Structure formats: C-alpha cells, structure tokens
Amino acid sequence: MFRYIDLFCGIGGFHVALDSLGGQCVFASDIDKECQYMYEKNFGIKPLGDIRSVEPDSIPDHDILCGGFPCQPFSNAGHRNAFEDTRGTLFQTIASIVEAKKPKIILLENVKNIKTIQKGHVYRTIYKVFEDIGYTMKDVVLSPHAFGVPQTRERVYFIGVRNDLEHPGIPPPPVKNDTSILLKKADSKYDISKELKSVFSAWDEIIPVISSSKISVPIILDYFKEIETDDMKSWKKNYIRKNNALYEEHKTELDAWMEKYKILLEKRAVYRKLEWQTGGMKRTDTVLSNHFIQVRQSGIRVKKATTFPTLVAIVQTSIVGDQERYLTPRECARLQSFPDSHTLHEKDRVAYKQLGNSVNVNVVEHVARFVVSRLLD
C-alpha cells in the first residue's frame, strides 16, 4: 500500500483512481465547502479548507502528491493571467509542500493550454521549480476519448519523480474500450423546454436554404447587415464579411424567415447564432437529429453525435439531440469515468459544476498505474 495526499481534491477523481491501485489517502484539501461535503460523503474523509493556511510540515508523510490545481489562470475560458492571478500562486503552495515532504512522486493535472501560455514561460517555470527542489519532470497530454469515453477533454499530466529514483517516463497510449454513457431512460425533468424546441425548429426551416452555401464561420443574424470598422478585431471582421455574403446570397428567404420568427429569435441573443460543427450542412439536416448540442454564449453549437463537448464548470450542459433532453448528472459522471456507485450532489446545478471541474478517473488511473507499478512495488 502507498500513501498519497489529494490537493484541490474536488469530488475525488484522483482518490477513486489511486484507491483502485491500492493507495491510501492520508490528507485531502479543497476550499469549496460543497466539494468537502461530497468528498466526505463518498470517502469518509473531510478535506481541510484553504491549503495556503496549512503548514507544510504538518501534512502527513506520503509517497504521492497529486492534484488538479486550479486551471482558471491558464485556461482559454479564463483571462489567462497565469502566475499573476492569485489562484496561480497556489502552484507555489504545492512546491512548498513538495520541498517540505519530499514525496517520491508528484502527479499534477491542468489544462493543455498551460504548455503555451505566455510563450511557454509558465510551463518552463513549473519544470524549473520542481527540478530545483530535486525532481525529474515529464508530462503527457491525454483525453478521455482516447480511452473510448465519448468526451474530448485534453489535459496535461505532469509526472515528477524524486531524483534518487529512476523516472519511468511517460505512459504508453491507452487501450480504447468504447464506454456506454447514456441512460436507457432519463427523468423527464431533463427534457429541453418548449421554447428551445421552437428555436431549433425555426432553424430547421432555414437549413435547406442556407445549406447550399459554404459556411465556415458561425451564422450570426446580427452580423447580416453589420459594417466593418477599422478598430474591429480581425476575427470579427471575418465573421461579418462571411455573414454579409451569406445574407446577400439568400436575402429574400432570410428576410422572410427572420420576420416570421422575429419575436422568438429576439428573446435571447444566443438564439440568433448557430455554430454548425458537423462538417458540411445538408438540406435534410435538422438541429436535433443525430447531434449533440450546446446552448452557449457563442451560439447554438451543433456537433456530430459521436463525442460530447468538454464538460465545464459553468452550466452549458450538452443536449442529446435525438432524445431532446440534457445530459443527466449521472451521465456527466460517466463522462468523467466515475463509477455509478459514486454519490453525486443532490442538487443538479452543483453536481454539474463539480463534474465539470473534475479530473477524468480513467485517465488519472492510466497515468498513475504506469508510474506506481514501476516505483512503488
């Protein structure tokens, strides 16, 4: 048996993975009280709060330090302030614990973007900090879809090994075993609203018209008559130019369609945007048919029903098109490879957020198994 500590533990993705390999959690920490509540409910351990308030020397000895440290400072979805962000300094807290306790292995997870932000400065700093403490560092980028889990979620895993031990390298590619995600029957409370069905049906009416055009940017109705200005970002100019061209090509039909659904389309700005990410649009296509959909600030995003969009902490829950409903929290848990025996928060809103913040259990287990089997036998 090996001992590990679980920093920024969330609802326990690392815990489930490492316990499956024979590990024992001797310390856990997370500042979020709802995560503390669920962690204790599942594992019988109540995580301590803010890790910055814990004296490193007081933490129990352990073989592995693991954690998915906060990604907001490095994420494309955040402001990408990196170490200038207060949350970014939590990395320094990890380093202080490593320096004090000298575990055999460091296993950290973060967004893939951490490797390129600030032209690689953050990535190089992470390596240098741990190398100066006495660790050999390697990293690997993995996503659940490589394991047969239908979610694209690329994350970088940093594997640090103390210099008195031989680093085993990075794990080989995983074996792909297709994983069933969808429940046979979901509660009707997850059905999409009548209003949203009406929006999708409205777009279905215009798809046969615009499908003859090559659409390479989101369709944004508000850009149909927009005029470019010199101070605009280049991406926005491109969007306006291509939406103008689409409008001019189908002006008569689009004007009639927008007038017909004017009241509905003006209810929310997102209803007036369509991101078609399934390849070419065909006349027979509909929004719901054989698609996964997300209603996002950037628009109604339509994707092929093969791989779900990345789960995120904010509630942009994917819609299963053919079933006209949202993914349930249990299905999201399956996308993160949690066993069905894992208890989820009773409030769906909280459960969605926690799962969007979690690591994928299968991926962590794959990385940890490779390292543990070579260093901790």
327 Cβ contact list (under 8 Å, min separation 6): 190, 308, 317, 318, 319, 320, 335
Per DSSP bridges, beta strands 299-304 and 155-162 are unpaired
Round the CA-based radius of gyration of the chain to a whole number and report it.
Answer: 23
CA distances in angstroms from 226 to 177, 233, 304, listed in the order given: 48, 14, 30
The token pair that represents 105 in the structure block: 């292995």
- Give the Cα separation of 346 and 34 in Å (integer): 11
Contact between 168 and 161 (Cβ < 8 Å): yes
Torsion angle (degrees, nearest 10) of CA 100, 104, 109, 114: 70
Return the DSSP state at 62. -
Strand partners, 37: none
Residue labelled with tokens 């614990």: 97
Residues annotated as catalytic are: 71
The token pair that represents 279 in the structure block: 């390849």
- Give the Cα separation of 97 and 13 in Å (integer): 21
